[in-house]
Amino acid sequence: MPQSAEKKKPVQVLLAPKYLMVTGKILTKISPFLASRFAARLFFTPFKYKIPEREKEMDLNSIQASITVPSINREIVVYQYGKSENKILLIHGWSGTGTQMAVIAKELVKKGFSIISFDAPGHGKAPGKISMMPFFIEAIHHLEKTYGPFHAAIGHSLGGMSILKAVKDGVSIKKLVIIGTANSVTHITKDFAQNMQLNEKVAVKMKSYFDSKFGEDLDNYSGAVSAEAVTIPTLVIHDEDDVDVHVSSAHEISKNLRNSQLLITRGLGHRKILGDSNVINKITTFIAV
């Protein structure tokens, strides 16, 4: 597939096996209820992939340890990269890994910081087949207790939503960077259903099922909702051509933050933005000042 065509496809579409898409379409025609349950299971299933070349240096030169997060009784794999006491926490996105922001991490280490990152449950080297945003959030809280304090944190996509919620709930950092972060859980479920070639009726049923399963409206976890309680300096970065998360999310989140800077890029999409030199320079300058 040409690289330009790949950039126009969401990560879920690129990584999902075709048979899952076919199954979902068939179930949608038979029963939206069954399709919503199938989609819900798929929604909680991250896709794993071979580590890219650009991440191997961080993978080879970091200290790694498997630890259990007691509040969820799930294992994560923690990466310690660099030796400074001035620590930065990195939180990857859905189907990402602790080395996903390796290029950013390398530059931060050059600036005198050290990195703590992790494979969330079911991601990368961490065991398990399912995962969910509350797992990310609980992992962040546990890492603050065991590896903190952190000077700053950087979250990509779902990692951005998770760190916004964690800061709202008491995680203490001085600065925050979020990249390609979604505003609304409802929008995420609709986008997911669309990407998996399911209809909106399935998306509505799936969101209702999630709310019932967790005993609350999951829109309480939305980026813009959490942002209302975040007072620390926050850099919001998003690309106009992001096909995974619409750029409007960045504007909505930034509007609700009390101390925000907004950087909108063009032509980088949802993933390439993590390796762009101009973006990285903006991040390192923001954190170091």
Nearest to 37 by CA among 188, 219, 202: 202
Segments of the chain with pLDDT less than 50: 1-6
Which pLDDT score is estimated for 38? Answer: 81
Q: What is the pLDDT of residue 227?
A: 96
Under a CB-based contact definition with an 8 Å cutoff, are residues 288 and 175 in contact? no
pLDDT of 5 reads 43
Give yes or no for a contact between 39 and 23, defined as CB atoms under 8 angstroms apart: no
- Whole-structure pTM over 0.75, yes or no? yes
Q: Which CATH class is domain 3-45+67-288?
A: alpha beta
| Residue-wise pLDDT tens digits, 33-48 | 787 888 888 888 888 8
Rounded Cα–Cα distance for residues 199 and 181 (Å): 23
Total residues found in the chain within this entry: 289
pLDDT score at 206: 83
d(CA 181, CA 164): 10
pLDDT at 20: 65
pLDDT for 241: 93
Per-residue pLDDT, 268: 94
Listed by start position, the domains of the chain span 3-45+67-288
